């Protein structure tokens, strides 16, 4: 059916006057009359009672007027929703944090996106670098926070921030009582609590190279969760190198945090996505990340 005729009839039903309706529609009165008759023919029913000096709506005409307005309103909403989706203003976005970065680096970006695009439904979850990359490549998420450097086929990564790496010490350790920054030589022979390298090889190697340039001392325990890593430090099993925001968020009794001497060790936080035809909601998030301070 011709949607233009639904529009013509809706305007005529509002004006109840051919001349005024034709003026609103920017068509001639004869053309409007012809289109209304064609509309009645399409529907197979009379919409106007033309028996008197002025026309009136038939019962079918009153129903058609209501349906026409609802249909046109629905079309307007559809246009708006489609246009918003094309701009990245609406839709659904699946984002995975990485457990090592729960602080402001990722949180501020998500909050800024939520404020800028309130019409987008955010589905948020938490993983780790290798898992996020695998799920991203499989299409299970749209964006994933990761710890660069990473190499993964079919994935693009951009750095969105960095943070300092702190040394977590048992509170009873001799180094915990020292003032100022720690020297690397002081921790070179200390036993270490670390997480498995396969969780994030790039971050693991970046931390190791900056904190222990001569090579990581004996690892006495591996813990996949940072909470358990900090517990092991509190129990006096060894020291650990932990990103600052994560370390401070998990700070517990029995653990002291210290900074290292220059050059200060730092690690990046990255945002990963699938390249190619990027959906507007993903592109909007990536563009916003590039503008964040």
Q: What is the pLDDT averaged over residues 238-263? A: 91
Whether 116 and 139 share a structural domain: yes
What is the reported pLDDT for 203?
A: 87
> pTM for the full model?
0.63
Q: What is the rounded average pLDDT for all residues in the chain?
A: 88
Residues 241 and 277 in one domain: no
Range of the domain at 15: 3-87
Residue 43 sits in a domain whose CATH number is 1.10.10.10
Query: Over 80: is that where the pLDDT of 78 sits?
Result: no
Same domain, 275 and 255: no
Report, as an integer, the average pLDDT of 140-158: 87
**Residues 100 and 245 both lie in one domain:** no
The tally of domains found in the chain comes to 3
Residues 185 and 213 in one domain: yes
Asked whether residue 87 carries a pLDDT value surpassing 80, the answer given is no
Q: Which of 47, 65, 87 is the last residue of a domain?
A: 87
Same domain, 50 and 146: no
190, 232: one domain: yes
Predicted local distance difference test score (pLDDT) of residue 89? 59
Handedness of CA 83, 87, 89, 90 (dihedral sign): positive
Name the residue with higher pLDDT: 249 or 222.
222
Domain boundary among 56, 87, 118: 87
264 pLDDT higher than 80: yes
Residues 170 and 35 in one domain: no
Q: Binning pLDDT at 50, 70 and 90, where does residue 172 land? A: very high
Produce one character per residue of 132-170: b if its CB has 16 or more CB atoms within 10 Å, e if not: bbebbbeeebbbbbbbbebebeebebeebbebebbbbbb
Domain CATH number, residue 222:
3.40.190.10
pLDDT of 90 higher than 60 = no
166 and 262 co-located in one domain? yes
**pLDDT range class, residue 154, cuts 50, 70, 90:** confident
């Amino acid at each position: 059916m011709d949607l233009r005729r639904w529009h013509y009839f809706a305007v005529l039903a509002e004006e109840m006057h051919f001349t005024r309706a034709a003026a609103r529609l920017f068509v001639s009165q004869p053309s409007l009359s012809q289109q209304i008759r064609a509309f009645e023919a399409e529907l197979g029913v009379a919409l106007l009672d033309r028996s008197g000096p002025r026309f009136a709506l038939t019962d079918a005409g009153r129903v058609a007027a209501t349906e026409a307005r609802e249909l046109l309103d629905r079309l307007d909403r559809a246009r708006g929703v489609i246009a918003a989706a094309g701009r990245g203003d609406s839709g659904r976005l699946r984002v995975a944090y990485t457990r090592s970065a729960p602080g402001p680096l990722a949180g501020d970006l998500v909050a800024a996106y939520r404020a800028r695009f309130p019409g987008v439904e955010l589905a948020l979850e938490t993983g780790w670098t290798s898992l996020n990359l695998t799920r991203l490549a499989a299409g299970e998420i749209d964006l994933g926070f990761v710890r660069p450097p990473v190499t993964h086929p079919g994935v693009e990564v951009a750095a969105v921030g960095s943070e300092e790496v702190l040394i977590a010490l048992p509170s009873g350790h001799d180094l915990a009582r020292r003032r100022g920054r720690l020297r690397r030589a002081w921790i070179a022979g200390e036993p270490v609590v670390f997480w498995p390298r396969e969780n994030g090889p790039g971050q693991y190697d970046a931390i190791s190279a900056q904190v222990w340039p001569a090579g990581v001392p004996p690892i006495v325990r591996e813990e996949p969760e940072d909470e358990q890593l900090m517990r092991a430090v509190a129990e006096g099993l060894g020291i650990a190198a932990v990103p600052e925001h994560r370390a401070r968020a998990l700070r517990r009794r029995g653990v002291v945090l210290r900074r290292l001497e220059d050059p200060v060790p730092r690690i990046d936080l990255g945002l990963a996505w699938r390249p190619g035809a990027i959906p507007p909601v993903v592109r909007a998030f990536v563009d916003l990340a590039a503008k964040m301070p």
